Amino acid sequence: MNEKITNMTIGNWYLVNGKPVKVTAENIQYVTTTLCQPILLTDEILEDIGFKQMENRKEYHYLKCEGREYPFPFFIEYNTSNSTLFINDGMIPKPIRFLHEIQDALRLCNIDKDINIKE
């Protein structure tokens, strides 16, 4: 994989020397964008985040968010066949193929999931 990481966010996961590493305030000075590789989204990762496979539409995953300070529930859908992310039917204009990209998108929705990536 030759994808280049251009910025890093504390809390996001990347591959460093082939191993998954979560960026923290303590390790950010050692984990640089030149050392990092993105982690490709998989069904297992999507399920760990909280997405569920929709019936009769195997290429979609969704996450329904309720409560908090939101006056109404909203839906986030991810289409694995073309890497598109929808928030309440609005498509994010950039393909989301990597874990750190979906982490950033969820964070914009005030969702900060604790994700456990296995080596």
User: How confident is the prediction for the chain on average, in pLDDT?
Assistant: 79
Interval 49-72 mean pLDDT: 64
CB atoms closer than 10 angstroms to residue 91: 11
13-47 pLDDT per residue, tens: 999 888 999 998 888 877 776 778 999 998 888 88
CA separation for the pair 115, 102 (Å, rounded): 12
Distances (CA, A) of 94 to 26, 91, 102: 31, 9, 11
Full DSSP string of 8-55: --TT-EEEETTEEEE--TTTTTTS-TTTEEPPBP-HHHHHHHT-EEPT
Tokens at 92, concatenated: 């994010």
The pLDDT score that the predictor gives to residue 112 is 74
Query: Cα(68)–Cα(56) distance, rounded to whole angstroms?
Result: 30
State yes or no: pLDDT of 102 exceeds 80: yes
pLDDT surpassing 70 at residue 90:
yes
Give the pLDDT mean for 9-16: 90
Quick one: pLDDT at residue 13?
92
Query: What's the rounded Cα separation, in Å, for the pair 88 and 86?
Result: 6
Where are the chain's structural domains? 13-108
pLDDT of residue 56: 62
Q: Does the structure show a pLDDT above 60 at 111?
A: yes
pLDDT at 96: 92
